[in-house]
Structure formats: C-alpha cells, structure tokens
Amino acid sequence: MEKKPHFVRREFLPREVPSISLALLLAAVLLLNALLYLYLNKFYSSLGRVETDPGLCPFGHFKFGAVKNCSPWLSCEAINREVRKLKCVGEGAVKKVFLSEWKEKKVVLSQLTNSELKEDFLHGLKMLKALQSKHVVRLLGYCEQQFTILTEYHPLGSLRGLNETLHIPKYKGMNSWHRRLMLAIDYVSVIRYLHSSPVGTLVMCDSNDLDKLLSQYLLTSDFHVLVNDLDALPLVNRSAGRLVKCGHRELRGEFVAPEQRWPYGEDVPFEDDLMPPYDEKTDIWKIPDVFNFFLGHVEGSDIVRLHLFDIHAACKKKDPAERPSAQEVLDTYRKVLTLLVREAAMPGTREML
C-alpha cells in the first residue's frame, strides 16, 4: 500500500515532462518567428519597398547628413561661388569627376570633358532629376550652361571596390553571406526600379562587362547600393514599338545577353543599321553574374547559390521573353533570405518537433 504513490509518480511524470517541454519549445519557436518577422519587416523597409523615401525632399530640393530642412538644388551661381574642387578622382568618356567641398561637406562635382557627348551628359542629368529616390545618388545641384552636376559623396566609392572594402578590418564583420545577399537584393531593387520607373521602362546600357557595370553603382557607408551614372539609360516603349540598342558598336562576350550580339555570324560584317533592337530583359541576363560577384566565396555562399539555382537558370534563358522580371527575381531573393535567416536562427527545430 505504501508503494502505490511511488508507482503513480513513476507512471505519470514521464508523460507530463515531454508535454511541458513541447509547450516551451513551441513558445520559443513562436517568439523567434515574431522576432524574425520584426527583423525582416525592418530589413525590407530599409531596402525601399516603397520607392520614394518618406524623408525625401520635394522635387527640386535636397537634404543630407544631419540637416533637417530641405534646400533648393544649387544653381550655377551657387556652385561657382560655394563649391571648391579638391582633387580629380575619376574620368570617363563623358565626364571628369572631382572630390569637392561645399559648406565643409564633401561632395562630388562632375564636368563634361567631351563636347561631342554633351547629349549623353544632359540625358544623364535629366534622368538624375527625374529618378530621385532611395535607389539613386542624391542630386545637390547642376548648371546646364557649364555642363556641371553636383551630387552627394560616398567615400566607399563604386562597387568595383567591394571586396577590397570587405577586407578592411573595420568592415570585416560585413563579409558574410547574409550581408552580401542583402547587397544583391539592393542591386536587383535598383534594376526593378529602373524597369518600372516614373518615366517608363529604362535599360542600363553602361553594362557591357562586369567591371563597367559595377562602376555605375556606389556602395554607401551603411552598405547599400545606389545607381550613380545614368548617362546611358534608354527608354523601352512596347506600345509604341520602341526598343533599344546599347551603343552603335558590336558587343561581344558571354556577359552581354544573346540578343545584344551580332546575329548574322562572322562572315557578315557588323552594321549598326542591321542590328536588331532589344528590351530590358538584357539586364535580367546579367543578374546571375553580378550576383556571383556580390556573394563571393564566403562561408555559407554555396547554400545560397543552391537555393537560387532555378531563378538564375531562368535569367539565362536564351529567349528574353522566357526570363523572369526583375520583380520576380527580387521576390525570390527575399524569400530565400527569409528562409535562410529562419534556418540559421532555429537550427534543428523541425527535428525536435
């Protein structure tokens, strides 16, 4: 009789403990899901699902740094009087770029160098004004008469220097698959914005090789991607039957899309008039190659590539019509990020359940 209570305890305790453990585990999973939701919601907001920044100034105005009030774009007079050149930091076919100073702030002054390309320069200025958003470098002022543009300065420079930047001790903590995937998402967000911009469907034509493409984008100090050079940004208008051609020379190599290459073989000399035009799907073809640059070969990168294999294979379809839109690529990248962050936060949860 005295042993009965002991028998009862041995019978019921093993059944009660697992149920309590299961309840605690489920509570932990729900808490982690809630934290992940908050994190990813904040992350997507920072990437700019809404194309225009709520803090963006009205058209024709700017603000940056700690300044709260918006100022009008600087005029020719203001640029000549208030902006001081410090040194030349770059020169391309169209313009020369100077690190400059305005009211003790570092800025970038771009000036036309080849008068034969002034139409390209003015087109870039037109696009810069029309596309101001969190995807595009901030315009501070311009002077059409002197072919001068003033923009915000980003000390980390173009995306060409990404790997070098990530090896600097200060930024080594950013050198992870997670942060690199976020940069790739930023890049595709820019492409999506250009393909559905306020002025229509735009094609990034300064992208005939990886190095040239990367030079068109800036890396910000808080590790986001901005498009910087908009000189070669033609408009696709399918309803009007308007397609584009990126320049008037023959394009070669696997980096450019198949439809951008001369279709009539080596025996037929290239003629610009005979070259068929194309649309924005040329940008989609290049995404997997740009992604590979972003991701590099850090720990965990192989798993990310495996998850994105199908969408990247679709981007490389020979028929442009069969390639996904930039929005579809962006949605896939975001889903994979969500999945991998959840798996990293809750390893082995499925097996425990």
Tokens coding 25: 């585990």
CA dist., res. 150 & res. 22, Å (int): 61
Q: What is the pTM of this model?
A: 0.84
Q: Output the pLDDT for position 68.
A: 82
Element containing residue 148 per DSSP (H, E): strand 148-152
Local structure of 322: helix, strand or coil: helix
CA dist., res. 62 & res. 80, Å (int): 18
Write out 262-317 in H/E/C secondary structure: CCCCCCCCCCHHHCCCECCHHHHHHHHHHHHHHHCCCCCHHHHHHHCHHHHHHHCC
Q: Output the pLDDT for position 45.
A: 46
Is residue 333 within 8 A of residue 188, CB to CB? The reply is yes
pLDDT in tens, 104-146: 999 999 999 998 999 999 999 999 999 999 999 999 999 999 9
pLDDT in tens, 6-37: 544 444 445 555 666 666 666 665 665 555 55
CA dist., res. 277 & res. 259, Å (int): 8
Compute the radius of gyration of the chain from its Cα atoms.
26
Q: Output the pLDDT for position 267.
A: 94
CA dist., res. 247 & res. 261, Å (int): 12
**C-alpha of 159 from chain center:** 10
Q: Which residue has the tokens 């920072």?
A: 46
Q: Which residue has the tokens 């559905």?
A: 196
Q: Which domains does the chain have, with CATH numbers?
A: 71-153 (3.30.200.20), 154-346 (1.10.510.10)
Alpha helices in the chain (DSSP H): 4-47, 76-82, 118-130, 162-166, 177-195, 210-214, 281-295, 301-307, 309-315, 326-345, 349-352
pLDDT in tens, 58-110: 999 998 877 788 999 999 999 999 999 999 998 888 999 999 999 999 999 99
